[in-house]
Structure 1
């Protein structure tokens, strides 16, 4: 008896998953991959623009998985407590849950589903979506092929896509108010998308008023972070980190342009959510 198969690849709006989509299209054209994006409704506009360009390259639509209940609904369910590194309910409810709802009927019918995840060859394996269903199989093509960060950049350049535009100021996809953002990213969000920043401030104030122990940015509120002297301090600290990192970095002779520095290269690796940031 032939088992029906389905191949899926989740896009975050970030660099690595986009490169994996290109890689699968170029190297495995015989595999019919369905590309999907789980839309929280709180994404950067640059993310939607990049997904549109990626659709053009792939020559097929990206399946949009919209959570049936939005961020505001779940915020109430969690007693107005903000999501945090310790309690990542946003990823669980707005990213993983819609995916589970989508694939559950197919898995229950006995379909074998292959899910392709963009863990690079230069990364330690970080567990992403895990399932108790033995017919949901996670595949790591970049890991198997030894494709690293430079390889990802080459794939995107070769496809004419380049990096998402938000890489000029922030090196992670995800919600506008993602708590994994470094303080310099909050400052840049305030400067580039002031309406989104003000929305984040409103959510934070409401959460604190309801007794939430968390603020979006560790150790200070967004109100405190926006004070001119604090903004100046954050920018100066970032410039010092940038200068130190550039002094330590070895130029890559295989790339004429310098590789973009990830925020995490400057501030330390964060254990980010794969569903949001790959």
Structure 2
């Protein structure tokens, strides 16, 4: 007998965690299968947060690992780094493992309903576009008019709170995500110097093989980490942060509005939906 399979992908980030909590609280009758597609290059804070989330949900989060790792695909793409123009990392390390997993259900005749954490204040974003009749996408936050403030309320109300890396970064996913702002690269070097050094090695090899891309637009990580350049990046970030705070409208119903890096740089629209939720 065919059935419906309800799945929800977690990135280790704020929005998808809030959606998992929301589904458990509002729709306890739905047996949701939670999954995380592991690139093998995630921040330690991501794994810690997923473990805590498992405790709250009371069920395991399935780890989907790609058949081949980042190094394999980097070589396959002629040592060209992934970029906003060529997001092969998302395709090979995130989407394909999910599609392979979902295909098992679809081939058995089941309908797969995927819940995606796109908020009501993200009009510019679309969910995973399925070309399968029995792979359906649902957007509960849009349907319930839940925005960023609502997401934060869900996380705080559950006691889970935000992932620890939100203290210094808003990008979940790979340590060397090319969507990072320059201030996030500076902070990555501070918090996880070994990951920064690994990213530098990948970049050096890619440049030697003719890659037109560096991890951070317009400059190499070796240039970015120079003390005087780091000081410039910090100063520019502080100026942007003050401007973002000044733009934030006072809302008496939500006095604890926060400013994150997407507010400062307006980069959410450009971010990778699969990794940054």
TM-score computed with the length of structure 2 as normaliser: 0.97
C-alpha contact 1:36 1:62 (8 A) present in aligned 2? yes
Q: Any gaps of 5 or more consecutive residues in structure 1? A: none
**Range 193-202 or range 238-247, more displaced:** 238-247
Unaligned runs of 5+ in 2: none
State the superposition RMSD in angstroms.
Answer: 1.1
Moved more, 100-109 or 85-94: 100-109
In the TM superposition, residue 251 of structure 1 has moved relative to its aligned partner by 3.1
Q: Distance in 2 between matches of 1:127 and 1:199?
A: 32
Aligned to 1:87: 86
CA distance in 2, matches of 1:193, 1:45: 9
1:100-139 map, 5 Å: 100-124=99-123, 126-139=125-138
Q: Which residue of 2 aligns with 1:45?
A: 44
> 1:244 and 2:255 equivalent?
no
1:141 aligns with: 140
The verdict on how the C-alpha distance between 1:136 and 1:125 changes in structure 2, with shifts beyond 3 A counting, is farther
Alpha-carbon displacement from aligned partner over 1:188-233 (angstroms, at most 9, x marks no partner): 0001100000000000000000000000000000000011110000
Partners in 1 of 2:121 and 2:222 — Cα distance?
38
Per-residue deviation, residues 235-260 of structure 1 (Å, max 9, x unmatched): 00000111111122123323453x33
Structure 1 partner of 2:173: 174
Q: How many residues align?
A: 276
Q: Does the Cα contact within 8 Å between 1:46 and 1:165 map onto a contact in 2? A: yes
* Structure 1 stretches of 4+ moved >6 Å: none
Q: Which of 258, 261, 271 is matched with 2:259 structurally?
A: 261
Shift of 1:272: 1.5
Asked whether the equivalents of residues 96 and 129 of structure 1 are also in contact (C-alpha less than 8 Å), the reply is no
How many angstroms does 1:3 deviate by?
3.2
Query: Partner of 2:150: helix, strand, or coil?
Result: helix
Q: TM-score, normalised by structure 1?
A: 0.97
Decide whether the 8 Å contact of 2:110 with 2:134 is kept in 1: yes
Match of 2:192 in 1: 193
Distance 1:193 1:230 in 2: 19
Counterpart contact for 1:82–1:214, Cα < 8 Å? yes
Matched residue, 2:220:
221
